[in-house]
Structure 1
Amino acid sequence: MKLSYELAAKQQIQITVKGSRKGAAAAGSLAFVGGLVGGPVGIAVGSTVGGLLGYWLTRGQFKPLPQIIMELGPQKQQKLCDILLAVLGELQWTDFIELTALMDNSTLKQKLKATLLGYISKELKA
């Protein structure tokens, strides 16, 4: 689990908990309506107002990834550990310090990050 916290914290990743579509729809819709009514200036005004409305609709709905990982139940945390260990495969390491030194491999880091984000995204949809 420490590896997943480390990956998430270093990347300072935040993922939406809910409502991201709502914010994007508000921004896009108002930009579209603004464009119909006022042309290019209307698009600028509509997207600005839509962006602010999208912010207002989604504020407080983003959590840092380490917090989301900590809020997973013990079984889901164990499953995440198993999945990340499978990605590590045959690497030889004895402690967390040695493992983080192996993380200098950007390909490995990208695979682990993609696996972590994929698992969390799947869990949030469930």
Structure 2
Amino acid sequence: MLPLRVSKMPVMVDDVMKLLCSVSGERKMKAAVKHSGKGALITGAVAFIGGLVGGPPGLAAGGAVGGLLGAWMTSGQFKPIPQIIMELPPAEQQKLFNEVTAIVRHLEWTDAVQLTTLVMGSEALKQQLLAMLVNYVTKELRAEVQYDD
């Protein structure tokens, strides 16, 4: 194999965002801003009111109705992480870019396609990037991460 040389061009932020989209897309990662607290609050409030109005049967009915209402309020809130990444403002993309380049700094590549190929071929690198991405999404965006695979 021929040795790889690092291009003189700086890696573009968009290229790294595409890499993150590939890594998170492979795992079918989604995230939701935590509206689940609202859903739980609604469920509890309706169950409480049901209990006050109808006793134990009202509590059961209120819990069921409140649970459905809470679930309805929070449904559809999950978005694919690749979509979230591409919709981030430039300053947030720069933060992610800095974290990714710290992880892949030992790699030598010439373009985004080659970088993505190198990363996707390394389970260890993918795991590092996924862990960094989950940490970013949960701490910076205050979102819950879900996997569909």
* TM, length-normalised to structure 1: 0.71
Unmatched tracts of structure 2, length 5 or more: 1-16, 49-55, 143-149
Is the helix fraction higher in 1 or 2?
1
Residue number among 23, 31, 37 corresponding to 1:21 in the alignment: 37
Larger radius of gyration: 2
* TM, length-normalised to structure 2: 0.61
Give the % identical residues. 48
Q: Do the aligned residues in 1 keep the contact of 2:31 with 2:137 (CA within 8 Å)?
A: no
Would you say how many aligned residue pairs link Structure 1 and Structure 2? 117
Q: Please give the root-mean-square deviation of Cα atoms over the aligned residues, in Å.
A: 2.9
Aligned partner of residue 31 in structure 2, secondary structure:
strand
Unmatched tracts of structure 1, length 5 or more: none
1:7 aligns with 2:23: yes
Structure 2 counterparts to residues 1-126 of structure 1, below 5 A: 1-23=17-39, 52-102=68-118, 103-125=120-142
Higher RCO (CA-CA < 8 Å; seq separation 6+): 2
Q: Do the aligned residues in 2 keep the contact of 1:24 with 1:54 (CA within 8 Å)?
A: yes
Aligned partner of residue 124 in structure 1, secondary structure:
coil
Aligned partner of residue 95 in structure 2, secondary structure:
helix
Structure-1 separation of matches of 2:81 and 2:107: 25
Structure 1 runs (4+) deviating above 4 angstroms are 24-27, 45-51
